[in-house]
Each structure stands twice: as C-alpha cells, then as structure tokens.
Amino acid sequence: MKKIINRLAAKDGVSYPFVVCIVLVLLIITLGVCEIIRINIISANIRNKFQAVIISETTDNYVNMYQPLRDGYAGSHKTPVPAGSRAH
C-alpha cells in the first residue's frame, strides 16, 4: 500500500498512467452497476405490465364463464321436454 501511495505522490510523472488506469477501472465498475440497476428497473416494469394484462384478461374471461349459472334462477332451470319425446 505504501508503494502505491508513494507512486501517486511522486512528482516525476510516473503516477499519471496509474491514475488513468484507476479512473478507467472505477468508470467501468460504475457503468456496470448503473446497467444492472437499469435492467432491474426495466424488468420490474415488464413484470408489472404483464401482471396487469393477466388480471385484465382473467377478469374479462370470467364474465363469459358460467354465464347461465349467474343469471338468477337459470342455474336450477330445467329445459322443458316436448310431449311425446323421451327425457334423457
């Protein structure tokens, strides 16, 4: 650690490439973290939209499902059998 500090404190220009490397490494790490955060935000939005679509479609399809059973007395309603035919 003392060698690194001595190199950074040197006045003969040896520290310039070392500082450039440190800045580039920190920049790459920061960009990687920002990209991970961006991907998490996008995936959360996609998940929320997908859940909203599933809930909407399920609600719309439920309206069409078992419609006769929800129409008042239609659940216990029997279709009249015409005279002269057999009841199955």
What one-character-per-residue DSSP string does 20-40 give?
HHHHHHHHHHHHHHHHHHHHH
Is residue 35 included in any domain, yes or no? yes
C-alpha dist (Å) from residue 61 to 23, 56, 65: 57, 9, 6
72: in domain: no
Ranges in the chain, pLDDT < 50: none
pLDDT, residue 58, reads 87
Q: Is the overall model pTM greater than 0.75, yes or no?
A: no
Compute the distance between CA of residue 32 and CA of residue 28 in angstroms, rounded to an integer. 6
Q: With b meaning 16 or more CB within 10 Å and e meaning fewer, what string describes 18-55?
A: eeeeeeeeeeeeeeeeeeeeeeeeeeeeeeeeeeeeee
pLDDT at 50: 95
Residue 76: inside a domain: no
pLDDT number for residue 48: 96
- Domains held by the chain: number: 1
* Domain hosting residue 6, numbered range: 2-62
Per-residue pLDDT at 19: 84
Domain presence at residue 46: yes
Residue 24 lies inside a defined structural domain of this protein: yes
85 assigned to some structural domain: no
The reply to whether 23 falls in a domain is yes
Q: Is residue 84 part of a domain?
A: no
